[in-house]
Every structure is written in structure tokens, then in C-alpha cells.
């Protein structure tokens, strides 16, 4: 079975500070991993994805994530937070043989202080 | 339309009533998905359509839930004899491909918020 754990339901950072959102996964088979973002009153939007190519994945809006198999982690980072980054972020995993079925974490709400 | 459209955006109903939620995917997307997001949780998979057929309905919680996609485009999620525990945001998504070699990006709608009193 697969699962995703996102540590911290809320993360607060100052504008300009480093953003680090944590995601650990459990999977018995090689996974595909994703980060989705949900802005207020909008649908979920793909930030980035890992599909077994490069372990450091760059996404939209300056976000990136690194797949670390030894740590079963896929943490999301951004060097400098912007007010517009305030949103809810979801980590998700799928199996390579059923890549349509996303298993989501419970989400982390990012607050950016001026 | 440009994105995935879901109607209604909000639905309040009474326990025991029947509810239909509609999803209009992005034109040309053959794959369509329904997810359910309860308060404080991430979305949970319900069902996946490839074309007109339900390729995987393993996430439907029980037989009160049913979904159709008769012409391979618009889909309707149907909930019979609603219960208070059905209250959630129901998300629809579509994608061009579910190929393993080209993991299809899912494009989500804004969701239909269902409240069962």
C-alpha cells in the first residue's frame, strides 16, 4: 500500500525566507511523486512531478523538490517566499503501474508574513 | 471551456435526498477522475473513466455512489440516500493521457461543495 505523510498542517514564513514543506512517502514499488498547489477558490494545480528521471525536479513559480529514495522523502523548497505563495500544498504519490490514481497527503497550508 | 467546469459549486441537501454533481472536462481529454476532499484532508480517489467506461471505481465508498460518462465527455456523480458523512468537496479532474511513459498531468476543477444537513 502507498501513503503520504506531510509534516505540519501549517507552515508560516516571512516574505523572502526559505520555504520548506516536508513530504515522506511509503511505497512498495517505484513511485511517481507530485506536488500540487491549491490557491483560494481555485482548483488544484500541478507544481512539479518526479517520474524517475532527474532526482532534483524544478517546477513552476521557483519551486523545486528532490527525490531521496534513502529517506523516502520528496520535500518542496523555494529559496525566497513571496506573498503570492500563500496557499495549500499537497504531496501525492502514484504507482508506476497505475499512475492515474493519486494518493494525496493531508496538505500543508503555507502562510507568508509581510 | 478553458478548464474543468463543475456544477453546482455549492449544494446543500437534506439527509436521505438524491444528489447529482456534474463535471465538464477539458475538451479532448479522454481521462476523467472524481476525487473527494473532506475537511482537513487531502483528496481521495473515487473513480476513473477512460472514454465512456469506468476503468477503476475502487474508490467509491459504497453502492450509494455511482458515476456515468455516457458520451465520453461530461460526467455525473450520483449519490443516493445522502448521509451527513457524505459532506465534502467533490473534485473532478481530467487529463490527456494516463500512459506510464507520460504521466498525465491532472487538471482539476474548483470542486462542488456538498453539505448534507
DSSP string, B24-47: E--TT--EEEEEEE-TTS--EEEE
- In tens, the pLDDT along B83-94 reads 999 999 999 999
Contact A106 B42 (CB under 8 A): yes
The per-residue pLDDT for A107 is 96
- Residue A48, chain B, CB below 8 Å: the answer is no
- Mean pLDDT (chain B, rounded): 91
Residue B103's pLDDT is what?
58
B48/A102 Cβ within 8 A: no
Would you state the pLDDT for residue A96? 67
Across chain A, mean pLDDT equals 91
Which of A110, A80, A93, A92 lies closest to A8 in space, CA to CA? Answer: A110
For residue B18, name the pLDDT band (cuts at 50, 70, 90).
very high
Q: Which helix (H) or strand (E) holds B116?
A: strand B112-116
Using a pLDDT cut of 70, give the percent of chain B over it: 92
- The confidence score (pLDDT) of residue B88 equals 97
Lowest-confidence region among A79-83, A93-97, B26-30, B83-87: A93-97
Would you state the cell numbers that stand for residue A1, as one nine-digit string?
Answer: 500500500
What grid cell was written down for B47?
473513480
Q: Average pLDDT for residues A52-75, to the nearest whole number? A: 92
Pairing relationship of beta strands A73-78 and A98-104 according to DSSP bridges? unpaired
Given a cut of 90, is residue A52 above it in pLDDT?
A: no
User: Does the pLDDT value for residue B16 go beyond 50?
Assistant: yes
Q: In b/e form, how buried is each residue of A77-111, taking b as 16+ CB within 10 angstroms?
A: ebeebeeebbbbbbbbbbbeeebbbbbbbebbebe
Give the pLDDT score at B7: 97
β partners of residue B89 = B37, B113
Decide: A23 and A105 in contact? Cβ < 8 Å: yes
Closest chain B C-alpha to A51 CA, distance in angstroms: 7
| Interface contact A5, partner B, CB < 8 A | no
Kind and range of the H or E run holding B5: strand B5-7
What integer pLDDT is reported at residue B100 of this predicted model? Answer: 46
Amino acid at each position: 500500500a502507498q501513503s503520504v505523510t506531510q509534516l505540519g498542517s501549517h507552515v508560516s514564513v516571512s516574505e523572502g525566507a526559505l520555504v520548506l514543506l516536508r513530504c515522506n512517502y511509503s511505497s512498495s514499488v517505484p513511485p511517481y511523486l507530485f506536488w500540487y498547489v491549491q490557491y483560494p477558490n481555485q482548483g488544484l494545480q500541478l507544481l512539479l512531478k518526479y517520474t524517475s528521471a532527474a532526482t532534483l525536479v524544478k517546477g513552476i513559480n521557483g519551486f523545486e523538490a528532490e527525490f531521496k529514495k534513502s529517506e523516502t522523502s520528496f520535500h518542496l523548497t523555494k529559496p525566497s517566499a513571496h506573498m503570492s505563495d500563500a496557499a495549500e500544498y499537497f504531496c501525492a504519490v502514484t504507482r508506476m503501474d497505475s499512475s492515474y490514481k493519486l494518493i494525496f497527503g493531508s496538505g500543508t497550508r503555507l502562510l507568508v508574513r509581510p | 471551456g478553458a478548464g474543468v467546469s463543475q456544477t453546482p459549486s455549492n449544494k446543500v441537501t437534506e439527509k436521505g435526498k438524491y444528489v447529482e454533481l456534474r463535471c465538464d472536462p477539458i475538451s479532448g481529454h479522454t481521462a476523467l477522475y472524481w476525487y473527494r476532499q473532506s475537511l482537513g484532508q487531502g483528496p481521495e480517489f473515487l473513480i476513473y473513466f477512460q472514454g465512456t467506461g469506468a476503468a477503476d471505481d475502487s474508490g467509491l465508498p459504497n453502492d450509494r455512489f455511482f458515476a456515468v460518462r455516457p458520451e465520453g465527455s461530461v460526467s455525473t456523480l450520483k449519490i443516493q440516500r445522502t448521509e451527513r458523512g457524505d459532506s465534502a468537496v467533490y473534485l473532478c479532474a481530467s487529463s490527456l493521457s494516463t500512459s506510464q511513459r507520460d504521466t498525465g498531468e491532472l487538471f482539476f476543477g474548483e470542486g462542488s461543495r456538498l453539505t448534507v444537513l
